Structure 1
Amino acid sequence: MIRRFGESPEPDRRYIRRVGVYALLPKGSSLLLTWQLEPGPDLQLPGGGIDPGESPVPALHREVYEETGWMISAPRRIGAFRRFTYMPEYDLWAEKVCLIYRAKPVRRLGPPTEAQHQPLWMEAGEAARRLGNAGDRHFAALHARGL
């Protein structure tokens, strides 16, 4: 069973399952995050959906680059969670299954290629308080405590 964070699913609502990959990207005591400006400001772990036919690790590399402009190495899966939410950019209600990895940010290659995203370095403890969803905050808090 995957731990759920956030709101319970509404019994009469149809949710589309979307599996995604997200990364804790530590450097010193900070984490590399992404600040998404649209559809509304949101501080997030970098990552996103796995495309059809794509495996999780290549998806993680692609998503981190698109949202931060950084190349990563040595991704290792450390957990997972799910949450039920409305995704306005797709106009759908989703059961998001979030696979969480820890990886090393190696080199900034340039600006994010995904519009409305900005990379942001933040101390891990502060990130654990400020990230936009409870699942991201949970994994950032575990990292901040050295777990």
Structure 2
Amino acid sequence: MIRRFGAPKHRNRTYTPRPGAYAILLRGQDILLTHQGGGFDEYQLPGGGIDPGESPIAALHREVMEETGWTIRNPVRLGAYRRFTFMPEYDLWAEKICHIFLAVPVRQISAPIEPDHDAVWSGARTAASLLASAGDRHFVQTYVWDL
């Protein structure tokens, strides 16, 4: 059983499974986050949905690049959690299966290409308090030292 964070599943609602890959990217004591503006205005671990036929590692590389402009190396899977949420950009209720990786940021080669996203470096303690998802906060607090 994968640990759940956030609201419980509602009995009378249908959820679409949405697997995703997300990264804790460390540089010294700092973590690279993405700030999603627009209608969201929240800080997140960089990452996102795994497309059909795509591996979690390939999705991780693609999503980090889209949301931050950074390349990464040496991803190591730390674990996973799930959460039930409404995704307004897709107009659906989703069971998000969030696979969390620790990876090394290599180089920023562009600005984020995903609309309304900004790459933001933050100290580990601040990052843990900024992250919108309780599951993301849990993984940062569990796997990043000095918290």
TM-score calculated relative to the size of structure 1: 0.97
Alignment of 1:14-33 (within 5 A): 14-33=14-33
Q: Which whole-Å CA distance do the structure 2 matches of 1:61 and 1:86 have between them?
A: 25
Task: State yes or no: 1:6 paired with 2:6.
Answer: yes
Q: Deviations over 1:26-60 (max 9, x none)?
A: 00101000000033101000000001110010110
The residue number in structure 2 matching 1:78 is 78
Root-mean-square deviation (CA, aligned residues, Å) is: 1.2
In 2: Cα distance, 1:3 partner to 1:65 partner = 28
Provide the C-alpha distance between the structure 2 equivalents of 1:14 and 1:134, rounded to a whole number of angstroms: 22
Aligned pairs, how many? 147
Partner of 2:57: 57
- Are the counterparts in 2 of residues 83 and 97 from structure 1 also a CA contact under 8 Å? yes
Show the 5 A alignment for 1:1-147. 1-145=1-145
Match of 1:25, SS? strand
Provide the C-alpha distance between the structure 1 equivalents of 2:36 and 2:126, rounded to a whole number of angstroms.
17
Unaligned runs of 5+ in 1: none
Give the C-alpha shift of residue 146 in structure 1.
5.9
| Matches of 1:34 and 1:143, distance apart in 2 | 19
Contact 1:39 1:88 (C-alpha < 8 Å) held by counterparts: no
Q: How far apart are residue 144 of structure 1 and its match?
A: 3.1
8 Å Cα contact 1:124/1:143 also seen in 2: no
Distance (Å, rounded) in 2 between the aligned partners of 1:52 and 1:146: 37
Structure 2 unaligned blocks of 5 or more: none
Deviations 1:66-105 (Å, cap 9, x if unpaired)?
0000000000000100000011111110000000000000
Q: What is the DSSP-based 3-state SS (H/G/I as helix, E as strand, rest coil) of the residue aligned with 2:132?
A: coil
The Cα shift of 1:142 comes to 1.4
Tell me the TM-score normalized by structure 2: 0.97
How far is 1:145 from its partner?
A: 3.1
What's the % identity of the aligned pairs?
56
C-alpha contact 1:33 1:122 (8 A) present in aligned 2: yes
